[in-house]
Amino acid sequence: MKTCLSRLALCSAALFTFSSAVMADQYQTVEKLSLENEQQVIDWRRHFHQFPELSNREFNTAKTIAKELEAMGYEVETGIAHTGVVTVLDSGKPGPVIALRADIDGLPVTESVDLDFASKVTTEFNGQQVGVMHACGHDTHIAMLLGAAKILKEMQGELSGKVKFVFQPAEEGAPAGEEGGAELMVKEGVMEGVDVVFGLHISSDTEVGTIEYKPGGIMAAVDSYRILVKGQQSHGAYPWISVDPIVTSAQIVMGLQTIVSRELKLIDEAAVVTVGSIHGGTRSNIIPSEVEIVGTLRSLNEDMRMQIREAVTRKAETIAASMNAEVEVQVPWGANYPVTYNDPELMEAMLPTIRSSAGADNVKLTKAVTGAEDFSFFQQEVPGLYLFVGGKPKGLPADQAPGHHTPEFKIDESGLITGVEVLTNLTIDYMNKKK
């Protein structure tokens, strides 16, 4: 019996040594191919940066993505969720189906960064002429995913299963009156048959070479809301004749601020209630009949999300009633995304891969952020991981890094290779775990 156990131990040790050697070879191959393709990834990024397009209008972006994928030997589907592009790499061997996702839309922001490939694009948005810019780094996401697609195609013989590459439009939100983004992709069946999904987001205040992760909620749920306050119009000289919706709105705005400060258990999770705009009235001497309040709610778990929604409606209605006004509360109204939630078991299983790809010292546990991501719709369908990849130059203080969604947004392109390696190794290692 002792001899059998000794042999079993020797066999297990040999298998572990063989497996470790195979994995080491894989990481070296991925690193080598990533370095060979680094300039191509940077060139892709610069092209998409120079020619950005707004949500659901990424027509030329989609054409370029499809062209590059076809040049690699992929068969491509276009027109998914309006302007999305999807392709599948089939190893021909049994195994899981892994989705890798990049968002592809720009923002209505006029670029102020002095780059040879800075965006000069302008277009119409909400009836106004605006500049268009990749002010959140989606150009880098496209480039990193194309890089992973190229490497995985070259390593196809080592794969077991399928890889679905998802280039998603309208992450920043579809235009008014339109559907779009990850939610529409899910409705159109993009996640059918998929077992797991991985995604990355560039971070302008995280140092290049670094990956940040968090099990559980990493980005907030977001719910837009609208409150229409209805009063009684009158001459400004005779306010006692009116039911003043402006004064009522002012009290509602102040009341909304007590939701986070007095009703939520903030030692558990962060939350935000924001009033983004108030519109009402036309002249200094007229008390209007209506005022519109619009804003967003952000939360990091579903119970808190429902609590905030209820509180917004309750406070608006009770404050309005105390002023003899009426309100119509719509929450959610327009865009609303669930919590971006990293499956804890999947996170634990894949963390060694992330550390092996970026270096253990470069992988940092981070706190959740109150920004939102519609990648969360994919994670509602299957377990998924969403990670932050560094785009800040080494040595630059984080508080001096340009913010996302600003005209000054800028990233260090040397960080892209880390994203390519992580996406590629996550794919291969997950396949190996599920053999």
Active-site residues, by number, are: 337, 413
**Residue among 138, 214, 140, 148 at smallest CA distance from 169:** 138
CA gap 434, 126 in Å, rounded: 48
How many other C-beta atoms can be found within 10 angstroms of the C-beta atom of residue 150?
Answer: 25
CA gap 49, 379 in Å, rounded: 28
Pairing assessment for the beta strands 211-213 and 384-392 based on DSSP bridges:
antiparallel
How many other C-beta atoms can be found within 10 angstroms of the C-beta atom of residue 232?
Answer: 14
CA gap 39, 235 in Å, rounded: 67
**Residue among 414, 371, 418, 374 at smallest CA distance from 392:** 414
Contact between 194 and 164 (Cβ < 8 Å): yes
**Residue among 102, 429, 366 at smallest CA distance from 216:** 366
CA 224 from chain centre, in angstroms, equals: 17
**Residue among 273, 282, 327, 329 at smallest CA distance from 305:** 273
- SS3 track for 311-325: HHHHHHHHHHHHCCC
Residue 126 in tokens: 């909400």
Give all strands (DSSP E) within 214-352, no chain letters. Answer: 216-219, 221-230, 234-235, 271-279, 286-287, 290-299, 326-330, 336-337, 340-342
Contact between 248 and 323 (Cβ < 8 Å): yes
CA gap 344, 321 in Å, rounded: 45
CA gap 303, 363 in Å, rounded: 30
What does the CA dihedral 102, 91, 37, 391 come to, rounded to 10 degrees? Answer: 30
